[in-house]
Amino acid sequence: MRIAATLAMTFALMATSLWGTDDFFPFAPFKMYSHAHDPDGWANSTSLVLTDATGRSFPIGDNDTGFRRAELEGQLSRFREDPELLALVAEAYERAHPDSPEITAAEVVITSYELKDGERTGAETVEVAAAWTEGADA
Amino acid sequence: MTRYVNGFFFTPVALGRVAAMRFLAGLFVCIEWWAYKPFIIQHRYLPEDLYQPLLIGRILPIPAPNYWIVTGTLTVCLAAAVPVMFGYRPRLFGWILFIAYFEWMLIYNSYGKVDHASFGFMVLLLVLCMMPEARWGDRTHRSERVGWGFNLVQIAVVCTYFLSTWSKFRYGGFDWANSGVFTWAIIRRGTVFSDWMLDFPQLLTAAQWGMVAFELLTPLVLFVYPWKRIQYSIIAFFYVFHVAIFAALTISFLPHLFAMACFLPLERVDPQGLMRRVRAKRKGRKDAREHRDRGESDPELTATG
């Protein structure tokens, strides 16, 4: 019986590792850093930049809103389709920082670094993947 | 052969280790929310539209986290972790802790990114609920059930390494080890200990091959169980590996490291016994001193007494 429990856990993990997705959490494939990155391609780094009512722009970290960079990247396609979602992130920031000036704009900035044979060539591109400004759609 | 297989699953483990692991598990829960993953509690500010429930969150009637659900879950976790740590009604509070912590993990992982360092730790919380009450340093009472439980955690820990290689092949292809993944990782989260490596891409490729070899070999640590010294050395190597990864990328897999501690003979740690011995020693020294003082001040008394 107990051996069966052990084997069941092991096989469940193996199966989801082969065919499953993160959705089957806690039995999700252990895919930390599992994606290959082309040594002759582009490496990118995403950041979220907020602008407040005083006109100050600043990138925010994982703990400022609780919405992590990796989560932003995980939901990036949603943000590309509907930049209005950034209003939610701005809202979260305001709730977490009730004493700070109001957030009026937010954008997702992706900086890409070119790699050649795994080394940085120094070339960079900066893309604004999604942008939102308060009241712009009204 | 039968004995080997039987021993693999059911080698009895001393109850002292259960007390030590309960302490470590509770300790981790107490540390995690403010020092290790502070963004989980920050999820309380996120609007529900950013919540992306996992399969289990859609099957079970689990509400979308809001301010009070997140705060409440943490409160229950902490309130249950303390009695578990000190062995007070450890099974009852263990179950409460396990359930609350599971919800905590759902809050953690339901916003577009699933992390994979906690599986072994969740298994640990679960098996601790099924183990008997235990005292620190108890090496005389042994239990097969405890041995089985820790074996399950150990398998989960090893799977975290071994199956992550499967994932690398699955998502990254067999060329993962030749790709620029470490360069990418260091660009994103490099430190003073690792940034210089960007100038040596061959070194990083070699490290990637080393990583694959290492992870594929990890199941050995389970199979060498009859040879404890080898097993402990391998575990020591794992810890060193994680220190190196932490120095390079500030990724620590902390819950995994706590779960992995169940490989170690923690039943040998006995804080109460240690205290008692220290106290006895101090007392002994004091007695001796008093004895000597008395002896020096009044030799006749000592002689007659």
**Domain presence at residue B3:** no
B249-295 pLDDT tens trace:
888 889 999 999 999 999 988 888 888 888 888 888 777 776 665 54
Percent of chain B surpassing pLDDT 70: 95
Mean pLDDT of B241-251: 89
Q: Interface pTM (ipTM) of the complex?
A: 0.78
Whether this model's pTM surpasses 0.80 = yes
Residue A133 pLDDT class (50, 70, 90 cuts): confident
Sign of CA dihedral B160, B162, B165, B167: negative
Beta-bridge mates of residue A52: A103
Contacts 24+ apart (CB under 8 A), A80-88: A80/A129, A80/A130, A83/A130, A83/A131, A83/A132, A84/A132, A84/A137, A85/A130, A85/A132, A85/B49, A85/B50, A86/A130, A86/A131, A86/A132, A87/A132, A87/A134, A88/B46, A88/B47, A88/B49, A88/B50
B181-220 pLDDT tens trace:
888 788 878 888 888 888 888 888 898 899 889 999 999 9
Token code pair at residue B57: 């969150």
| Contact yes or no for B225/B7 (Cβ under 8 A) | yes
Token code pair at residue B157: 């820990």
Q: Which residues contact B96 (CB under 8 A, 6 or more apart)?
A: B76, B80
Using CB atoms, which residue from B9, B46, B178 is nearest to A3?
Answer: B9
Is B59 within 8 Å of chain A by CB?
A: no
**Domain presence at residue B5:** no
Task: Choose between A129 and B216: higher pLDDT.
Answer: B216
Residue B99 pLDDT class (50, 70, 90 cuts): very high
Closest-CA residue to B117 (of B37, B196, B176): B37
Closest-CA residue to B131 (of B253, B25, B274, B6): B25
A27-66 pLDDT tens trace:
666 666 666 666 676 777 788 888 888 878 888 877 777 7
Tell whether the model's pLDDT for residue B134 goes beyond 80. Answer: yes
B160-189 pLDDT tens trace:
888 888 888 887 777 788 887 888 788 878
Exposed e or buried b per residue across A53-80, where buried means at least 16 C-beta atoms within 10 angstroms of its C-beta: eeeeeeebebebbbbbbbbbbbbbebbe
* Residue B258 confidence (pLDDT): 93
User: Smallest CA–CA separation between B269 and chain A, in Å?
Assistant: 28
User: Smallest CA–CA separation between B80 and chain A, in Å?
Assistant: 21
**Domain presence at residue B146:** yes
Tell me which residue range forms the domain holding B60.
11-285
* Residue A20 confidence (pLDDT): 65
Is B296 within 8 Å of chain A by CB?
A: no
Total structural domains within chain B: 1
Is A73 within 8 Å of chain B by CB?
A: yes
Is A102 within 8 Å of chain B by CB?
A: no
**Domain presence at residue B290:** no
